[in-house]
Structure 1
Amino acid sequence: MITLIITKSEKVQEAFLNSVKKLRTQGVCVLLVKSYSAIAGLLAKNSVKTSNFLFIDTLSSSELDNVIYVPQEDLTGLSISISAALQSLPEKAALVFDSFSTLSIKHDSKVVAKFARFLSQRLHYWKTEAVIIVAKESTDPELLAVLKQSVDKVEEK
């Protein structure tokens, strides 16, 4: 099941943290707003074991085994990294984006919408649980419409 969470900008981090805490399995976290070094402390403070996750950090590189660096500009690399990360975990894994709408800063919203459709198709094909979080006020209406059509459940918080 793919869930879209639409929230205010100031609540994106809280929505991300709650989504990660709810996962009952291993997961892949795509970090678009804060780097792994910034988010690791928050997760530890909330009793989330970072060893259960692979992180795709789009902001800074890291020497850690569970962190993959892919620049936000490289949507193809991001797609490949998500596929590889999900398939590398021994158990069925879930995917969480910290703020999908952030991709619109580096890319045209039509390109991000196309990426969202492609990713949604892949996640449905793999039967992967996923949470996509967007900031309500900074998400392009066309992208938001595509995301709403591509997911199984929409939550507005």
Structure 2
Amino acid sequence: MSACLTCLKATVNPSEDGCIHRHIKLMGVVQVLIAVVQVTCGLPLAVAAHDSIAVLVGTPWWSGMVYAVSGVLTIHSTFNKSEEFKKTTLVGNTVGATVALLSGIIYVVSCFIDEKGGAAQLHNIPMTITLLLAGYAVADIAFAIPVCLMYHKHVSVARDGENVRETERERQR
């Protein structure tokens, strides 16, 4: 993770296959693994705390699906050279980070409030699973935001390069 943050100085250049691409691919793999954990831990949570707000809303399943899509886009972006796909990856990871924030809030709220608005009566195991899922939501935010920053920088640099080329063409006329 810290290696990725130090690579923020560089841009995501499709012609180079350096440390940035390996780190981005690894971050995408971690996002997919977090998605698998979200969905997998959602099953025992649904059995143990079927009246939990997180279970009633279906948070483990829809958040896991969004994390998986975000991770797959991130992995595939290292192979795809088009600017449009880089922008799609940026949007996908932004949506993934937003969903992770929302799901983390839902998990924390479901630890303290039940579906009727009273105090939650979760036992130790459902409480542990819910807090574990909230932690994984925070972890997904921690992986999605650096990817967003890298691709935002890449898209901005590419846009600035196009503006410079257009200005040079106008001067030549």
Calculate the TM-score normalised by the size of structure 1.
0.30
Higher strand share: 1
TM-score (norm 2): 0.28
Q: Which has the higher contact order (CA 8 A, sep 6+)?
A: 1
